[in-house]
């Protein structure tokens, strides 16, 4: 099957089969795709908690309208936005150092980029910055969903949960805020309805 066929195959799985777990090897491929996702300035302003522990899954389920995906999935990937501006400015330094490596001249040439990125971060209000970081989570989520489809792993992206409660369940530091969850596993049963999407004419305008 090709890429588009795989995307057509996937659906938002409502319940997974715990007797058919996703392998560690498959999980690592999904995480690799998430890591390779593009992000603004390349800063990857998020952290992903990979939840396998059943006690934590049930804690999340309690604060997510008791949705079945939460404790039947092999893994819950909780995308958390990095919302601390000072932390992100330090991350700019780390990113530039990674780009330059041991090349001191390259590091000097990258100095304008370092300063520009820090200035951009500083110019945002706390709310604007948090929104920016959360948007990057969704780009990575999309890559995770596509990887699952390619690997024939079932998945469900989920926003229906109390973010404040999940932050407490995961004991997140103030610099991280839970944003969206990707539940992955193998379906207990197939979709009950055919996939419906609006037409190309409805979605796209060619100019």
The reported pLDDT for the residue numbered 1 is 74
75 within 8 A of 185, measured Cβ to Cβ: yes
**Which residues 6+ apart lie within 8 Å of 27 measured at CB?**
50, 74, 75, 184
The CATH number of 3-188 is: 3.40.109.10
- For the chain, the maximum distance between any two Cα atoms, rounded to a whole number of angstroms, is 60
pTM: 0.96
The length of the chain, given as a count of residues: 207
Helices (H), the chain: 3-9, 24-35, 54-62, 69-72, 85-100, 104-109, 111-123, 126-150, 163-169, 200-203
Q: Give 32-79 pLDDT, tens digit per residue.
A: 999 999 999 999 999 999 999 999 999 999 999 999 999 999 999 999
Please state the domain extents for the chain: 3-188
Q: Give 92-146 pLDDT, tens digit per residue.
A: 999 999 999 999 999 999 999 999 999 999 999 999 999 999 999 999 999 999 9
Q: Give 170-187 pLDDT, tens digit per residue.
A: 999 999 999 999 999 999
């Amino acid at each position: 099957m090709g890429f588009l066929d795989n995307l057509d195959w996937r659906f938002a799985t409502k319940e997974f089969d715990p007797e058919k777990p996703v392998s560690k090897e498959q999980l690592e491929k999904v995480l690799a795709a998430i890591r390779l996702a593009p992000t603004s300035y390349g800063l990857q302003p998020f952290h992903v908690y990979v939840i396998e522990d059943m006690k934590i899954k049930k804690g999340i389920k309690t604060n997510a309208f008791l949705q079945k995906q939460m404790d039947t999935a092999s893994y819950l990937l909780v995308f958390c936005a990095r919302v601390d501006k000072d932390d992100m400015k330090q991350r700019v330094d780390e990113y530039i150092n990674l780009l330059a490596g041991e090349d001191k001249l390259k590091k000097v040439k990258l100095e304008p980029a370092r300063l520009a990125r820090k200035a951009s971060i500083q110019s945002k209000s706390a709310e604007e910055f948090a929104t920016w970081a959360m948007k990057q989570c969704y780009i990575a989520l999309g890559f995770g969903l596509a990887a699952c489809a390619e690997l024939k792993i079932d998945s469900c992206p989920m926003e229906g949960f109390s973010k404040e409660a999940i932050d407490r369940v995961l004991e997140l530091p103030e610099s991280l805020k839970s944003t969206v969850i990707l539940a992955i596993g193998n379906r207990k049963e197939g979709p009950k309805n055919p996939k419906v999407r609006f037409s190309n004419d409805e979605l796209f305008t060619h100019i």
